[in-house]
Structure 1
């Protein structure tokens, strides 16, 4: 089974490649999904480590709009994937991926 951080990617790939849920894959299908997911993750890391990616910032309004869209999409199921229980985002402001310590970029609140 894939790592917790890559589970979404693996679920999506299982549906795209084989048209079935991750837990229904045969061992060779699961191996293929794992290989593709690993390669996608490697490519993503390479892209996020570029100088151009280091200056990307997401405005709070963009994040809010995306969360609203997700909430609307899943409202019928009673699920709120963006809800942390507080009714608000963790912190106001933009997401900033730049890290002065030289570590690989990651999304963090600014």
Structure 2
């Protein structure tokens, strides 16, 4: 599903209901139809923010997404199975407390 969106133009309306254009957070939205994403209405469009998607990788077993790799300031700080310090930085930057706990 993700690759079927390759080459689409940028969605300047950030509208998850369009199919001819796309943004990064919308790519995750369409690639995982089994996840019940919370969209927000902004003016006339329904959208999902990258921050909302990032919070869905909270590290809790009930969370629908899993953090597998994280880079900050151009450097890798976390990869699944490595030190937990990078995971802590991710949780701090994204503002995750007990979102899915």
Fold-level similarity (TM above 0.5) = no
Q: TM-score, normalising length from structure 1?
A: 0.21
Relative to its length, the structure with more strand (as a share) is: 2
Relative to its length, the structure with more helix (as a share) is: 1
Q: TM-score, normalising length from structure 2?
A: 0.22
Question: Which has the greater radius of gyration?
Answer: 1
